[in-house]
Structure 1
């Protein structure tokens, strides 16, 4: 079904702010960064869009949670949007809100829609170190910030694998084993992938870090690049210590024309998809792929005409290397394919839930320079849990034949249909067990704090077990770069009242 021009949604303005102020007493608060980003997006469109703003989505804020972030943004802009929402936790949420904003315009429920977010964690952390009280807008002291413990199984909390830096290595190690790689080969791939991200960040004026890194500098542990959780070093994980704000403005083709916004500034949303994994990662059938990620990306390839090489601009979420490495394989792209136009969460910066807003800005800028091209914006949230992607294209296309965006974009049924049986979990066990996946957690001085193994019994049951730091022989097996520990046998025994122990055979 074709749409009238007043219902065809287009992105017309993007804006980003980066505050590199070193003195925390001079740092700008997230509210100011959001308002500046919105005004920068309006300037980018060269039209008075904010006066017509009637849809406002504010990304979940971490560094300085406000009592009413959307209300404060609206107050600063002098507007009263009909739709006003404060987001929930999730790195995919900006993609979801862009998708929903486009649908809102298509339904005639909004004329101008904004998605905006900002973080000032660099300044907040500096103020804490300096014992400085920031004179910012009132903070919501009752705000509950989810860390991962809240949606992890108690056994995962007991074993200390309930935050992103500790969980994602489980996917890293399981997937590299499935792909037939030694740990050294997997690390080399991660280093080359991350080096490419650093080069993209070095070209992006809004990046926090603008220095290209070599693969060796990224993967080699050192004083300034300590091990976090095996096999990830500091340069391989998201960097939240940034001050950044981003905003995207959408309107209809008819309104863009009425405001005099040239077609060369427009970017259409062609469609998208979303799906989730079970929130408790121990309730998943395996750890080497995500059925939800696969279903979402495959649907986006269909929207793009069945060929992922058509994506001239691409952003594959990059909180940790396993995510874009899995996504690249689903898309059937070569290792040399550019996976980010933004720079990645390690180098561009990771303003917590708001990175994909910045990625949308980078995608829009890239597509504007590539008439006839197609772009992919893919975000992820929690522990390989929530997945959302959009397919975008520059200009108006054939506006007279513009297809309606489907109201139902979830591909959950397709993801669920692929899911295999989930192994029964055992809490009390003694005997042999093979590694399903694992990681080793490190202290700030670079010494191992403990290891954690997810293993299978001979009957196929799943368990979780610790490897104490004192068991240097088992830790050496887990961190041997020229082998693949997944699949190795060991012995499980009781460590304490809450935890089991795994020892290499």
Structure 2
């Protein structure tokens, strides 16, 4: 039996805003960008929905730190929603919040909802470089829901200097390539091909920050303007947060949409989704060849869409994420994995990229209807995962009522976590590794996660100056033997 029309959630409007002023002093602040995106979503739905919004979700923003974020945005829009919430950090949060808004509509707790996010990182950086004071809402002394580094990385990780996303994702890239039986060259070629396809999509998306298409060689080859960030990632292989962009997604019930005269072919339905997470401490994970949380989430999405997906958007902060996801989904290496363009080329307004991806997917489904389409978002360091399934037709009731939390399923797939042996000295083998490069693109430092003969985990600094070390790392030393010592700094150190 189908859901009643007054409980069937449907996306009726999407809106985006991109701001490229020559003078940073003329740039719009994030609140203004988001307000413009919400109004654009209302226009896309035919207008008249702003005053009816009863639920407002604002994605966590970083470029300008406000207090009362959701309340301030509501004031700009001239609305008084019963529910106005500012979210926590996470690239998966747009898919999560859209899913939750749909469930509130299904449960009768909301009639018109909007999810929005925006950043002005480019303007802030240019203004700082030019010594320009931005005439924006004054930043708060105590901003709401700020990013706290210690919430995301441990003191041990900080001592190693392995704290940024670009430092940590290579752990998965190297371990997964070894698990798949790929050489480093094979793995890099796959990443280059995927990223080249993403850049071609971004070049055709009017909302993209970057409108240039690149071939695989231009993406993976290090040059002065495409330096290495952390092996094997060049600048064009990592997310680009230096943008001024905002997006918004407007939802209501099927009954309200029909009463407003919205044509059915412009409606996109929420069919379901699921979320799960890995331990925040990357050293507390069972392995690095795949993510059990990602696997559980994508398994749940495929259960909602047993016939497959007509289109997919796989999160793309770094190439390893869609590489792992497409294998979990059973997609071919040359499958289309984005409708938006990816975080490297469309732009990465930090936590809110998947808001834009949802806008792109809605437009795609309006033009090319499909029973099911997938939006897969990820946050942290392969940490938080959420999949959202959309479709051109009305969903079955049981799909929306499936559990949103599949953490138990993820834990059932998890292997035993190797205990840490941070005082171990002696033999070990490489589990995975990362090498961080400096601003000139030269190798600066790195760390190896390894396993002792007893199966315990070590975390050891690499001596970049060691003769032959870089050659061993470039050849992917996963499984190679080495020796661990504890140095005067109290950290383990590695020698091949």
TM-score by length of 2: 0.97
Which residue of 2 is the match for residue 390 of structure 1? Answer: 388
Q: Quick check: 1:287 aligned with 2:288?
A: yes
Partner secondary structure for residue 257 of structure 1: helix
Q: In structure 2, what is the Cα distance between the partners aligned to 1:19 and 1:472?
A: 49
1:438-462 CA distance string (max 9 Å, x none)? 0110100122111210011111110
1:3–1:403 contact (8 Å) kept in structure 2: no
CA distance in 2, matches of 1:476, 1:485: 9
Q: Does 1:487 align with 2:487?
A: no
In the TM superposition, what are the counterparts of 1:18-97 in structure 2 within 5 Å? Answer: 18-97=18-97
SS in 2 for 1:424: coil
Q: How far 1:35 moved relative to its partner?
A: 0.5
The structural deviation recorded for 1:426 is: 1.1
Offset, 1:147: 5.8
Which sits farther off after the overlay, 27-36 or 470-479? 470-479
SS of the residue 1:349 aligns to: coil
Matches within 5 A, 1:70-469: 70-143=70-143, 145-146=146-147, 148-305=149-306, 307=307, 310-396=308-394, 402-403=397-398, 405-406=400-401, 408-469=403-464
- What displacement does 1:484 show? 2.8
**Matched residues in 2 for 1:145 and 1:172: separation?**
29
- Number of residue pairs aligned between Structure 1 and Structure 2: 495
1:183-222, Cα deviation, whole Å (9 max, x unpaired):
1110011000100100110111000101110100110011
Unaligned runs of 5+ in 2: none
* 2:14 alignment counterpart: 14
TM-score by length of 1: 0.96
Aligned partners of 2:69 and 2:446: how far apart in 1? 40
Give the superposition deviation at 1:407: 6.6
Q: Distance in 2 between matches of 1:115 and 1:63?
A: 19
Once the two structures are TM-superposed, the CA of residue 86 in structure 1 deviates from its matched residue by: 0.1
Q: Matched residues in 1 for 2:73 and 2:385: separation?
A: 27
Structure 2 distance, partners of 1:417, 1:22, is 53
- Deviation, 1:258, is 1.3
Residues 82/404 of structure 1: CA separation in 2 closer, same or farther (3 Å cut): farther
Cα–Cα, structure 1 residues 43 and 492, in superposed 2: closer, same or farther, change >3 Å?
Answer: same
Tell me the secondary structure at the aligned position of residue 324 of structure 1: helix
Q: Which digits, 9 at most, give the CA deviation of each residue in 1:22-73, with x for residues without a partner?
A: 3211111111100100111111111311110110000001000211111111
1:257 Cα deviation after fit: 1.1
State the superposition RMSD in angstroms.
Answer: 1.4
Q: In 2, Cα distance between the equivalents of 1:44 and 1:32?
A: 18
Q: Which moved more, 1:331-340 or 1:154-163?
A: 154-163
Name the stretch that deviates more: 37-46 or 133-142.
133-142
Aligned residues of 2:14 and 2:359 also touching (Cα < 8 A): yes
CA contact (8 A) 2:304 2:399 kept: no
Secondary structure of the equivalent of 1:344? Answer: coil
Tell me how far apart the structure 2 counterparts of residues 446 and 41 of structure 1 sit (CA, whole Å). Answer: 42
Q: Which runs of 5+ in 1 are unaligned?
A: none
- Equivalents in 1 of 2:397, 2:414: separation in Å? 35
Determine if contact 1:2/1:404 at 8 Å carries over to the other structure: no
Q: Residues 14 and 248 of structure 2 are in contact (CA less than 8 Å); yes or no, is this contact kept in structure 1? A: yes
The yes-or-no answer on 1:477 pairing with 2:469 is no
- Cα distance change on mapping 1:472 and 1:36 into 2, 3 Å: farther
- Larger deviation: 165-174 or 1-10? 1-10
Give, in whole Å, the separation in 2 of the partners of 1:473 and 1:141: 50
Give CA deviations for 1:304-354 in whole Å, capped at 9, x if unaligned: 12x4xx312210000001100000000011101000101010000000000
Deviation string 1:256-309 (CA, Å, 9 cap, x unpaired) is: 11111111110001111111111111111100100010011011111112x4xx
Aligned-pair CA distance for 1:494:
2.4
- How far has the Cα of 1:431 moved from its partner? 1.1
Q: Aligned equivalents of 1:436 and 1:407: distance in 2?
A: 36
Instruction: Write out per-residue CA displacement over residues 67-115 of structure 1, whole angstroms, 9 at most, x where no aligned residue.
Output: 1111111111111101110000000000000001001111111111000
Task: Render the CA deviation track for 1:404-455: whole Å, top value 9, x for unaligned.
Answer: 7217311111100011111110111221111100011010012211121001
Give the distance between the partners of 1:112 and 1:237, measured in 2 at CA: 36
Describe the shift of the 1:428–1:478 C-alpha distance in structure 2 as closer, same or farther (beyond 3 A): same
**Secondary structure of 1:251 counterpart:** strand
4+ aligned runs moved over 6 Å, structure 1: none
